[in-house]
Structure 1
Amino acid sequence: MLNTWKTILLAGMIVVSLTACVNQNGGAALPEGDIETSANKDAKTLKEASTSTNENNELKALFKKSVFFGDSITEGFMFHDVLDIRNVFGEAGKTAFFAVKDNDVAKLVERNPEHLFIALGSDDILWPTDNPLQFAIQQYGLLLDQMKEELPHTKITILSVTPVTEKALKEEPRYSNIAAYNQMLKELARKKQVKYVDVSSIAEQNPALYDEDGIHFKAEFYPLLLDFLKGEL
């Protein structure tokens, strides 16, 4: 009889011991060191997210009187919630020709920005004409004339076309004209007396920020671009 009670007591101790090794959610409990490590990682992640949010809010405040006008790359400011919708006028496939044709300047006048950043060209250089670069620059010039007339107090800055990856260049050889087109943009800016800023270095120094297509960019690219442009305000 005594042996029977000893057996029951021993079995109970084993059950209690096993239960202690299981957390309240029914999963295996982590060793104390692992719990601390996991907590530290969570705290670090939350801190980084909070810092990123604060930085984005600061950038939004800094550029609240600016508008970025361009194609799908510009659209990324809005898509990734880097800037507010009112500060972005970007459409996939947008070119200087379409901007003139669609009278986009009238829509920009409604926003009345203090500073206008123009980022067009990635689609312009693919225009199906005998001389797409010359055609694109001609249309860009017309667009600038409209902007200067309708927005006389707005500071206008032309941004260079960002380079593409080798993979994208192999798939679309016409992107090899980006450097030549940027030179034409620089000259156009001088002629029209607006600012030109070459932003190519941001992409070149951060190749990991390209999207899979090698043309567009991940969310992390945009705060870097804004930080680069702060001095233009």
Structure 2
Amino acid sequence: MDRIRQRTKRRIVLGVCIAAAAAAVILIVLAVRGLLHKGADTSAGVEYIKAEEAGDITAIEKKISLLEQQDGSGEEGRSIKERFAGAVILGDSVAEGFEEYDILNASSVAAEIGVHLDELDGQISKVKELSPGVLFLYLGMNDVTATNGDVDRFVSEYKSVLDRLREEVPDAHIFVNSIFPVQEKALEEEPLLEKIPEYNDALKELCDGQTIAFIDNTDLVSDQYYEQDGIHFKADFYPVWAEHMAEVASL
């Protein structure tokens, strides 16, 4: 409905502008005709009219675009919260940052600190209640250590989650985020996290087999975004991540 109103608005503004431009052209034509009666050279006037006609639509479109940017009615004017209004991200403490830092509304986040793939009953119930059109998953960081590096076990547990979500929210389009890399300090604390790339490869293969979109976040982060633990992220990273997901899901 918003898009229809936007198109209607554009048409109205475009129509008014074109009418004004047409009136201006008529006045110019009349002026040129006046010159004709005096035997004047009209070539300059004709060229001016042609230039005005060629430039009108482009100028009008630019004015409409500027108006939309000012009142926030265009696609680019929507906030992150508005774009995620019909979406939910289900995940662990990393995903919880969306709510903690007020990047997304609480109705768009179903996250819990330290959660594992076999501990999602409460979150899946919340997702079912919210019934989103789009569901993003960020899971697996805690399971790299919980599975003790057993990638096959990880894939089996993740598949069970996907199967359950398809039963509970069959109309949701599911997108699976890759597990974020961690900094060296985190690897020193927990060497098993070195296997994250291997887990991501297996997760992508699972998604490909399930015809589920896999969002590769490997190159999305940089050192400036990490908290002191080398795993979690500062507030200014979350809009970057949200934008990435929104682009992939066409929100």
The answer to whether TM tops 0.5 is yes
Which residue of structure 2 lines up, in the alignment, with residue 127 of structure 1? 146
Match for 2:100: what amino acid? F
Aligned length: 174
Residues 54-96 of structure 1: CA deviation (Å, up to 9, x unaligned): x997000011111010000000001111001110011011121
- In structure 2, what is the Cα distance between the partners aligned to 1:191 and 1:152? 18
- In structure 2, what is the Cα distance between the partners aligned to 1:176 and 1:87? 31
Which residue of structure 2 lines up, in the alignment, with residue 209 of structure 1? 225
Counterpart contact for 2:138–2:178, Cα < 8 Å: yes
Structure 1 portions without partners, runs of 5+ = 1-54
Question: What secondary structure, in the 3-state scheme, does the structure 1 residue paired with 2:89 have?
Answer: strand
- In structure 1, what is the Cα distance between the partners aligned to 2:176 and 2:203? 8
Which residue of structure 2 lines up, in the alignment, with residue 73 of structure 1? 94
Which residue of structure 2 lines up, in the alignment, with residue 172 of structure 1? 190
Counterpart contact for 1:124–1:132, Cα < 8 Å: no
Q: 1:105 aligns with which of 109, 118, 124?
A: 124
The 1:176/1:56 distance shift into structure 2, 3 A limit, reads farther
Question: What secondary structure, in the 3-state scheme, does the structure 2 residue paired with 1:161 have?
Answer: coil
Taking structure 1 as the reference length, what is the TM-score of the superposition?
Answer: 0.71
Q: 1:221 aligns with which of 237, 241, 247?
A: 237
- In structure 1, what is the Cα distance between the partners aligned to 2:96 and 2:160? 23
Listed as ranges, the matches of 1:31-50 within 5 Å are none
Structure 2 portions without partners, runs of 5+ = 1-75
Which residue of structure 2 lines up, in the alignment, with residue 52 of structure 1? none
Match for 2:185: what amino acid? K
Counterpart contact for 2:124–2:165, Cα < 8 Å: yes
Identity %: 34
1:159, distance to aligned residue in structure 2 (A): 0.2
> Root-mean-square deviation (CA), in Å?
1.7
Which residue of structure 2 lines up, in the alignment, with residue 60 of structure 1? 81
Question: What secondary structure, in the 3-state scheme, does the structure 1 residue paired with 2:235 have?
Answer: coil
Counterpart contact for 1:67–1:87, Cα < 8 Å: yes
